[in-house]
Structure formats: C-alpha cells, structure tokens
Structure 1
Amino acid sequence: MTDRLLTPDDFARLRDLRATRPADVRDAVASRSRRELLASDGRLFIVAADHPARGALAVGENATAMADRYELLERMAIALSRPGVDGVLGTPDIIDDLAALGLLENKIVVGSMNRGGLRGASFEMDDRYGAYDVPSMIASRIDVAKTLIRINLNDPATAPTLEATARAVTEAAAAGLPIMLEPFLSGWSNGRVVNDLSTDAVILSIAIAAGLGASSAYTWMKLPVVDDMERVMAATTMPTLLLGGDSGADPDQTFAAWQDALSLPGVRGLTVGRTLLYPPDGDVAAAVDIAAGLVHRAEPDLSIERRNP
C-alpha cells in the first residue's frame, strides 16, 4: 500500500481524543449520519474487522498481520472509501476508532457481541458475550447486531453460548434491532476448534441457530460459502450475508465462488474481512472494488492480476 488516507496527525488527534475527551469518542458513534439498512438495490456489502478481539491476528501464514492497529485502521479507511462498501462489522474498540476518525458517516455499523471464546484458549467454546449488548447498541444507534455461534455437540460449554445467543436474539427482536447469526458445527482437533464446512454441517447449524430466541422476525444469517450452496440456502428463509473468512485460496477462485453464491435466492450480500483487507498483492482498493461489484451486480473484472499487471 502506497496511497494512504490517514496521516500521523489523524492518529495523534485520535490518541488525544481518547485521552482527554473520551465522551466525544463515545458520542461519535451515536451522532454519525445514518442511512437505510439496505442499499437501493436491496444488497449489502460489509467489511469485517472484529477478529483481533478474539485474539485472531493471523492472515494466512502471517501470525501477527492484524496486530498493528494503525495499519488495520488505514486498510479499513481505504475499504470504507470505496464505492459500494455499505459499512463495517467490528467490536467497540474498532468502531470507536473509526467513528472518531470520521469514517462512519452514512455507513452501516454492525456491532460484534460475543468475543469471549478466545482463539486457542482451553475455554474457546465458552463464547461469552463480552463486547456490545443490545441496550448499548440501541443507545449508540448501531444498525445491526452480530453473534458467532460455534456448536460443539461434545463440549458442554456450547449450552451457555446457545442460551446467551437466544437471549440476545429475544432482546434484539424486542428492540427492533436486526441481529445476524453466524453458526457453525465445530469440534476440537489437536487442541484447536475447527469448523465443519461440509454442506450437511452448515445446514444443521442453520436449523439450530434459526430457532434461537423468542422471535425470528429480526434474525439474519451470516454463512460460509461451501459446496452445494443451493441446498444451504434452501435451509432458511432469513436474509443472508455470505462470509469470506481467511481461506488462503486463490483470490480469483474465491471471487468466482462468491459470484455464484450471490446469485442465489435469499443472499443479500457479503461480509468479508481479512480476505479483502490483506490481499496477497497488498492492493486493498482493488480487492474491495471487485467484491463491491459482485455484491451490487456491476461487471467486475474478477482477476486481481489483470487489474494489477
């Protein structure tokens, strides 16, 4: 990345604001200009940056790629400046930084709720709700809530996570706050939590997650792109965003898979983070532009290599 949008002075002002005027940081989120949830075409493209709060700093083989907060904010600034990017998904620290920098005007803000299941921890399946809650999101005028639901049938810590998620869905529905559920069937493998990305496992995770809470009226799904997405999308009537993850796959193959899945009924768009913020060639704008074109049905050139000879 050579063309930077944020300067050292921007970061100095942010640090000073946090130290001397914390109320202004808090109020920056609530006072930002807002917009309707869906774009005029009924689609939504959200850039995700809630990984660090779970201790997940790696991108590909770089174990500390997301450790530099200033670099992450710069990449987010580039992404949010591109046409077709509707908003951001993050934990309070990320959202507060972006709002204080003035980067969230007329953007959709999705608040990440449960960050307690730290990556690699012995208690990772006990995914407690330690970030946003529904009252704080309503007070801050956040547009959408988001939860991660890893369902491990062999780990009792799954039960309290499901209970907490059901409570969050009930509270969000009562407040009229859309809430996006990201379910997986998961298990332990060599001391790590691994998500089952088979078609049948994703379908089962949808069935379990969809029934949580006292009302599903405001529930959305956030689902991985897997084999036989037609069967996956036949498992739910809820509006769905596709997630990108950090697959390490060839970018052209990833974009092509997204393009196919975005054509399915019920799919409203994408929520993608590391794949676009840390592309192999470093060109955030080019990667984001391709994804935005896929979501909003422009005619993107799917090859990063052709865009960046």
Structure 2
Amino acid sequence: MTITIADLPTVRSRTPEAIGEAARRRVRRPLLGESGRLMIVAADHPARGALAAGGRPLAMANRGELLRRLVLALSRPGVDGVLATADILEDLLLLGALEGKVALGSMNRGGLAGSAFEADDRFTGHRAEDLERMRFDGGKLLLRIDRDDPGSLSTLHATARAVDAMAERRLPLFVEPFLSRRDDRGRLVNDVSPEAVTTSVAIASGLGGTSAYTWLKVPVTADPDEMGPVLETSTLPAVLLGGDLGPDPGEVFHRWRHALRLPTVQGLVAGRSLLYPADDDVARAVDTAVGLL
C-alpha cells in the first residue's frame, strides 16, 4: 500500500504499528557506499524550535512542505540519507523514502534555541537503544561548550555516555562540537574561528571509553586554508557541517569544495541551506552539493 503525505495523520492515528513494521522491512545499506563519500540532508532543526529557513521565520513549521522537500532531496542521485528526529524519520519511513538510504537519528534536542538553558542540551531525542530497535544507521548529537555556563558540563557528561552506548551497539555517532558563548543580547553563539574549532575537535575526540565509532561533524572556517591544521587535531573521520549559504552561495560552495579534499573528511551534512535555497530550487541546490563530493 502506497502512503502519501496526506495519508500520514490517518495512518498514525489508526495503525501506529505501521511505523515499526516499516522499520523492520526497510532495506538498509552500509554507511559509506561505493563512492566512499557521504551526502546527508539534515532536518532535525524543528525539534529545537529552530523553524526559520530561507528568510521565512516559520518555514520548517509546515510539515507537509518539509516532507515534500525531503523526499525530493532523497530522490536525487548521490544523496545517501537523512538526519532527523524520530517524528520526521518515521514519516519518511511510512512514505517509503528511506529504502536503501542512511537514516541517522538526532539525539539531544533539549537545548531549545534561544532558551536560558540552551547550553544544558538534554538528550530528549533518540537514545542508543531506540536507534538499534528501529534499525537506524547511526546517531548525531550537538555538543556546545560554554565555559561560563555550568549546563555545558551536563551536556559534556551525557555526550560521553552516549558515545559509550552507541559504541556498545557498533553504531556510528556523529558529534557536532562547538565552543560557544553568550553575546550581548544573551544569545548562545558558536565560535567558528580556527582556534575554537580546533579546541572543540580535541575535546570531542576524547569523549567516552572508546572513539571507535565516533565521527566528527565540523563547521568550515571562513578561510578554507585553515581547515587542514584544524582537522589535523584528530584522526577521527569527519563530515562537514553545511551552514547558511548567505548572499554568496558560490563562495560557500568553494569553501566546502576545498575542505572536502582533506584526508579525514568523508562527506557533507547540510540542511536548511539545501532544503530552502534562495531560489527555492531544491533539486538544483542538492545536485550542486553532491557535485562537490
């Protein structure tokens, strides 16, 4: 039976067991395919209350539209999979969009965007046992370290235990580390200077009782030539964090292309910049990103 986006509320209310059945039937694949590279589309922003995209403050609040864009992105050649929270991954499961794709679950979403407790980023999403039960292919967590906020210690400790739990199940875990601070308006902002990214990589690489299944998800610094020394901080495999394309997408794509040549970099994870590009051409934005690999 083919399920459409319009069918999802009915299926969820009348046959919730269909989600588990779809998870058990799903055709899986290795994390790295024949190309040895990884292109993942990220869509875990809504669970943090971060709904803005493409200049629209509530763009990602329309679930049907988000799913349409995700299904289109996943259908493009060279796209390996998706990173999302349980609700979105389960919608995609029901739609059949995860067949032969990598499905990564987002684990800590408790540090709501703009909240006073944002640095205390609790694990309110997937647990390691959930990812194993649903036959997903790995997990991702966000590690923001604000030296002036004691809540960061809770996140650091929980991250280390998540590293252990995922390694016990031989599931890859993508750790996205930042040194962060509060700005003059009280907002938590990430420092993407080479020194800060280097330090965050060093901290993230040493978490847990083993790093065998740990991957890094790192931002690209403003000067792509600085990324080489940054990533020499660790031998762990890394993917690039594809941030906002801004007013000059060509310049951003140039930085991504340069950093993708580094030996520890295995691929790219990008979300809103590809799903909600300025010209609204999702296929074109995704194809351009795939071409960088």
| Residue number in structure 2 paired with 1:191 | 186
Shift of 1:61: 3.2
| Residue number in structure 2 paired with 1:300 | none
Shift of 1:11: 2.1
SS in 2 for 1:255: helix
Mapped contact 2:54–2:277 kept (Cα < 8 A): no
Task: Output the aligned Cα RMSD.
Answer: 1.3
Among 85, 90, 105, the alignment partner of 2:84 is 90
Mapped contact 1:222–1:243 kept (Cα < 8 A): yes
| Residue number in structure 1 paired with 2:113 | 119
Shift of 1:294: 1.2
Residues 1:247 and 1:188: Cα distance change in structure 2 (over 3 Å): farther
Cα-to-partner distance string for 1:70-91 (whole Å, 9 max, x where unaligned): 1100100110010000000000
1:125-164 to structure 2, matched below 5 A, reads 125-164=119-158
Cα-to-partner distance string for 1:118-168 (whole Å, 9 max, x where unaligned): 001111111000010001101111111111000001100001100100000
| Residue number in structure 2 paired with 1:202 | 197
SS in 2 for 1:279: coil
Letter in 2 for 1:272: A
Shift of 1:249: 4.0
Identity %: 54
| Residue number in structure 1 paired with 2:22 | 28
Q: Does 1:68 align with 2:66?
A: no
Name the stretch that deviates more: 58-67 or 199-208: 58-67
Mapped contact 1:30–1:142 kept (Cα < 8 A): no
Shift of 1:247: 4.8
Among 40, 50, 58, the alignment partner of 1:56 is 50
| Residue number in structure 1 paired with 2:230 | 232
| Residue number in structure 2 paired with 1:211 | 206
Letter in 2 for 1:290: T
TM-score where L is the length of structure 1: 0.91
Distance 2:187 2:73 in 1: 31
Shift of 1:245: 1.9
Distance 1:265 1:133 in 2: 31
Distance 2:138 2:205 in 1: 17
Shift of 1:10: 1.4
Cα-to-partner distance string for 1:152-206 (whole Å, 9 max, x where unaligned): 0110000110010000001111111111100000011112110001000000001
Letter in 1 for 2:175: L
Shift of 1:62: 1.8
Cα-to-partner distance string for 1:38-65 (whole Å, 9 max, x where unaligned): 0112110000000000000112532111
Among 262, 269, 272, the alignment partner of 1:271 is 269
Distance 2:174 2:37 in 1: 15
**Number of residue equivalences:** 288
Shift of 1:31: 2.2
Shift of 1:37: 1.0
Letter in 2 for 1:146: K
Mapped contact 2:146–2:180 kept (Cα < 8 A): yes
